[in-house]
Amino acid sequence: MARVIASVNQKGGVGKTTITMNLGIGLARAGKKVLMIDFDPQGSLTDCLGFPEPDQMEITVAKVLMNSINDVQTDISYGILTHPEGVDVLPSNIELSGLEVTLVNVMCRELVLKNYLERIKPLYDYILIDCMPSLGILTVNVLAAADSVIIPVKAEKPSIRGLQQLLRTIGKVRKNMNPNLAIEGVVPNMVDCRTNYAKDVVNLLTEAYGGPLKIYESIPQSVRMAETAAEGKSIYLHDAEGKAAKAYESLVKGVLESEKQ
């Protein structure tokens, strides 16, 4: 049965999508069978993985979940695409916003994604979900379905303050619908290791949260990292020897180790 890990932060542009993509491909390189689900109407993960024109795609996660809500029987792999680097992908586009509106009138609206995942979990070792930057009903669906969350934060003071709100939401989800939801860890991202400011912020993060939460190795700010999105390739292919690829390898190792505990 797959372990479901969500990349979550209500703050935009912190690296949720980049981390989903490179953690997912890293796990696949370690021999795991991985599905990534784009759960953001912006379709950024779909786009970053090199699938052209997400908004022109006919079958996306929105359609797959609508079928699930309406009990339409489809093949288990319906809508799932494959990426050349050995991962499966359930793409997304703007239609997911339509689903968000539809959910208002659906019974057990928080559990729509979870119900779908129960069907496909036996096919994978890991299912990674890329969330949108909000804590609305779509993200609550993800939190209800996930085993754990990974929280990317940008090495800036306001990002650290935003963590408190996210942790409160996770607490509410645990209390009301998913008592076993774990926090995989926090990933400081886009850290400019040359500046004292970035080091101070990472120290602050570790002091404030490092007790209860695992703080992963910082991922450096790197132009090569930003380029991967345009290339549709992981950092392991784009800049295998760079510091960012090494930091990602350490993240992958950490996630694999936490599976054993």
Ligand X SMILES: Nc1ncnc2c1ncn2[C@@H]1O[C@H](COP(=O)(O)OP(=O)(O)OP(=O)(O)O)[C@@H](O)[C@H]1O
Residues of the shown chain interacting with ligand X in the complex, contacts defined by CB under 6 A: 12-18, 40, 44, 133, 189-190, 219, 221-222, 225-226, 229, 244
CB of 125 or CB of 184, closer to Mg ion: 184
Strands 87-90 and 34-39: parallel
R_g over Cα of the chain:
17
Q: Which of 2, 9, 10, 16 binds Mg ion (CB under 5 A)?
A: 16
Question: Least separation, in Å, of the C-beta of 251 and Mg ion?
Answer: 17
CB of 42 or CB of 68, closer to Mg ion: 42
Residue type at position 195: T
What six digits make up the tokens of 165?
Answer: 């709100």
Binding partner at 193 among Mg ion, ligand X, none, C-beta below 5 to 8 Å by kind = none
Binding partner at 12 among Mg ion, ligand X, none, C-beta below 5 to 8 Å by kind = ligand X
Which of 50, 41, 120 shows the shortest CA–CA distance to 82? Answer: 50
What six digits make up the tokens of 64?
Answer: 């797959």
Is residue 17 part of the contact set for Mg ion (CB under 5 A)? Answer: yes
CB of 60 or CB of 68, closer to ligand X: 60
Strand partners, 151: 186
CB of 111 or CB of 251, closer to Mg ion: 251
Q: Contact letters (x/-) for Mg ion, 58-97, by CB under 5 A?
A: ----------------------------------------
Torsion of CA 139, 142, 144, 146, to 10 degrees: -140
Distance CA 151, CA 7 (A): 6
